[in-house]
Amino acid sequence: MQTFEELRQASLTCQACRLAERRTNVVFGEGNPESPLVLVGEGPGENEDKTGRPFVGRAGQLLDKALTDNGLDRTKVYICNTVKCRAADWSTGKPVNRAPMEDEVQACRQWLVPQLGFIKPKVILCIGAPSAKNLIKKNFQITKERGMYFPCEFAKTAIATLHPAYILRQMNVQKNDGGYSLLVADIARAWAAAQKLVEKELNGSRPETAEAVGTLFDL
């Protein structure tokens, strides 16, 4: 594919794995494909499958709020998932969200890899542990390593944060913010890093490692 739009259009007819059999819509992604910051989740759920848009359910509403709290919105970042079709268990007749299988994740890399290649983000913010395990390292520990800079194949650096769905569950159980303040802080951290990297590049200085990015802020 020669253009980003050609890639998106091609993805809409993908039949590379079993998820194509039951999907309503391919959820390619949305936002600003020229943004220095890309948010990457695991995969679409029921609402996303219906609309063809990423993060539009309750978790998506919380993510939008966290973006707004940072002075951002979906026009300033790009949002996508590692898997573009809903993974669901249909064994009871009514679909229930499940984690994508490894072969499904691998099949979808034919879209994710060129997608990120077109965007060329400075920073990737992984939304939740599965995304971080896919893009940062297999043994990523979200509770210990969120908010830290890591090397990444598809960006100057990557950071991970708690998934909004997890935060919503914690809010119900703990009757507190459930980690929402951490989500807001991690988005702020990722956006600041992306902006600083853009500035450095414009000035002709290009830090090439995650560690170098960290020293930009003395964080």
Note the pLDDT of residue 218: 45
Percent of the chain residues past pLDDT 70, beyond the cut: 93
Residue 52: CATH number of its domain: 3.40.470.10
Of the candidates 183, 27, 179, the residue with the CA atom closest to the CA atom of residue 111? 27
pLDDT of 167-208, one tens digit each? Answer: 999 998 877 898 999 999 999 999 999 999 999 988 886 555
Q: Are strands 88-89 and 78-81 parallel, antiparallel or unpaired?
A: unpaired
C-alpha 45/C-alpha 87 separation (Å) is: 7
pLDDT of 53-74, one tens digit each? Answer: 999 999 999 999 999 999 999 9
> What's phi and psi for 158, nearest 5 deg?
-135, 145
Helices (H), 52-148: 58-68, 102-119, 129-135, 142-145
Token pair for residue 135?
């893009």
- Mean pLDDT of the residues in the chain: 94
Residue matched to tokens 């490894």: 102
Q: Is the pLDDT of residue 212 over 90?
A: no
Note the pLDDT of residue 219: 41
Helices (H), 69-163: 102-119, 129-135, 142-145
Note the pLDDT of residue 206: 59
Instruction: Order the strands of the 78-81 sheet from edge to edge.
Output: 30-31, 78-81, 37-41, 123-127, 155-161, 150-152
Instruction: Tally the domains of the chain.
Output: 1
Q: Which domain holds residue 23?
A: 4-217
Look up the pTM and report it. 0.92
- CB-based contact 129:25 (threshold 8 Å): no
Token pair for residue 204?
């002709």
- CB-based contact 67:187 (threshold 8 Å): yes
pLDDT of 93-137, one tens digit each? Answer: 899 999 999 999 999 999 999 999 999 999 999 999 999 999 999
C-alpha 39/C-alpha 33 separation (Å) is: 11
